[in-house]
A = this chain, B = another copy of it.
Amino acid sequence: MTTESRIYTAALIVIGDEILSGRTHDKNIAQVASWLGVQGIRLKEVRVVADDTPAIIEAVNTLRARNDYLFTTGGIGPTHDDITVDAIAEALGVGVEVHPEARAILDGYYESRGGLNEARLRMARVPSGAELIPNRYTGAPGIRSGNIFLMAGVPQITAGMLDALSGTLEGGALLLSETVGCWIAESEVAELLASTEHAHPSCQIGSYPFWKDGRGGANFVIRSVDADELAECSRALAGALEALGKPAVAGGI
């Protein structure tokens, strides 16, 4: 198997009561998904769990075993409801230790901000043996423990941590995509979509209907790791839509 044909997968666990209560609208799923795509890694599954140790442990142990990488967001701050580090250490069967470099980073960051108190020192705690992921915004680093990456819950900080990880993870062939938009009901072209997908075995076609300005339409997203077949499939679909008298909009509507 060549490097190009191996598919690398990841899972994401979003940790936080605030997502499950509806108070906070998650922004990390989409940003982690998009970032993984660029790394040649496919996001296979996401779970949102409460600030609850057994729930975190169950999700961590299931997902880390069947994916190349596991990301978590949330629960690595200084307060009593931040339990991710302890839960993951328990899931891994290891202890928790203060990481000396994390402590030094926090010492520097809080020097002019009232000093390192007990709560702030919590953010230097990592599962034993873990490494740090830099956070240029607030000092407190993310954590890499084996194939698990513990990231912040605040999306801007997560973004910075992802940025720090860019290009450092082994990935496979990029999953490429093209979008064809059309002012047509997807139910008029369901058979066409299925037959076009069938004729291009490396491609998947997703159909995403929408309503805009009182009119219905759909975007058809074609995905493939094969650039030539992707282009051919996209061309075939656009041509078939045009033949029905419906202009196909490259890039989507």
Contacts and interface: CB of A to CB of B under 8 A. Distances in A.
A206 interface: yes
A46 interface: yes
Nearest to A114: B188
Interface string A67-101: 00000000001111100000000000000000000
A217 interface: no
Contacts of A175: 21
Given A81-B206, A120-B187, A188-B114, A33 B43 contact: no
Given A78-B190, A80-B190, A186-B79, A21 B45 contact: no
A21 B46 contact: no
A22 B31 CA distance: 7
Nearest to A36: B22
A22 B43 contact: yes
A44 interface: yes
A221 B19 CA distance: 13
Contacts of A37: 21-22
Interface residues of A, number: 68
A205 B81 CA distance: 8
Contacts of A187: 77-79, 117, 119-120, 123
Interface of A: 14, 17-27, 29-37, 42-51, 55, 77-81, 113-114, 117-120, 122-123, 154, 156, 175, 177, 185-188, 190-191, 193-194, 197, 204-211, 221, 223
30 contacts: A17-B204, A19-B29, A20-B46, A21-B175, A21-B177, A22-B32, A22-B35, A22-B43, A23-B177, A23-B221, A24-B208, A25-B29, A44-B55, A45-B47, A45-B55, A46-B47, A77-B186, A78-B186, A78-B190, A79-B187, A80-B197, A81-B204, A81-B205, A81-B207, A114-B185, A114-B188, A117-B188, A119-B190, A122-B190, A154-B211
